[in-house]
Amino acid sequence: MAYVSIDSPGKVARTTRPSFIRRGRTGHIRHLLSARTIDSDDVDELCQAAEAYEFGVASTPLSPGKTVALLFFQPSTRTRLGFEAATVALGAHPIGMEDMSASRSNARTGESLEDCAAVVSRLCDALVVRHHESGAAERMAAKSERPVVNAGDGWNEHPTQALVDIFALRRGLGTIAGRCIAFGGDPRGRTVRSLIQLLRFEAPKEIVFCPPPHYEVPADILSAIFENQIRCRIVREIEYALTECDAIMMAPYDMSDIGEPAASGYVSPNTTPDSHVITPEKIARLNSRTLIYHPLPRHDEIHPACDDLPNAMYFEQVRLSKFMRMAVLNRMLSAS
Q: What is the average per-residue pLDDT within 133-157? A: 94
pLDDT score of 157 = 95
Average pLDDT, the chain: 86
How many Å separate Cα 322 from the centre of its chain?
Answer: 13
Per-residue pLDDT averaged across 120-131, rounded?
96
Residue bearing the bigger pLDDT, 151 or 18: 151
Segment 160-167 shows an average pLDDT of 98
Can you say how many angstroms the Cα of residue 98 is from the centroid of all Cα atoms in its chain?
22
Round to whole Å and give the CA distance between 5 and 152: 30
In the chain, pLDDT over 90 holds for what percent of residues? 68
Helix (H), strand (E) at residue 42: helix 40-54
For residues 60, 157, 17, 329, the Cα torsion angle rounded to the nearest 10 degrees is -10
d(CA 321, CA 78): 9
**Range with the poorest average pLDDT among 129-138, 169-178, 209-218, 219-228:** 209-218
| pLDDT at position 169 | 98
Which residues, listed in sequence order, are joined to residue 148 by a DSSP beta bridge?
127
pTM for the full predicted model = 0.88
CA-based torsion, 187, 191, 195, 197: positive or negative: positive
Residue 325 has pLDDT above 70, yes or no: yes
Element (H, E) at 54: helix 40-54
Q: Name the percent of the chain lying above pLDDT 70.
A: 82
Using one digit for the tens of pLDDT, what is the confidence trace for 289-299? 999 999 999 99
- Single out the residue of 272, 307, 271, 311 nearest to residue 291, CA to CA: 311
Higher confidence at residue 93 or residue 5? 93
Query: Is there a contact between 29 and 336 (Cβ–Cβ < 8 Å)?
Result: yes
**How far apart are the C-alpha atoms of 48 and 43, rounded to whole Å?**
9
Q: What is the mean pLDDT of residues 207-229?
A: 90
CB neighbour class for 78 (10 Å; exposed up to 12, middle 13-18, buried from 19): middle
Sign of the alpha-carbon torsion through 35, 36, 41, 42: negative
List pLDDT tens digits, range 240-261: 999 999 999 999 887 666 555 5
Q: Is 158 exposed, middle or buried (0-12, 13-18, 19+ CB in 10 A)?
A: buried
Contact call for residues 69 and 124 (beta carbons, < 8 A): yes
Answer whether residue 26 shows pLDDT above 70.
Answer: no
The model's confidence at residue 107, banded by pLDDT at 50, 70 and 90, is: low
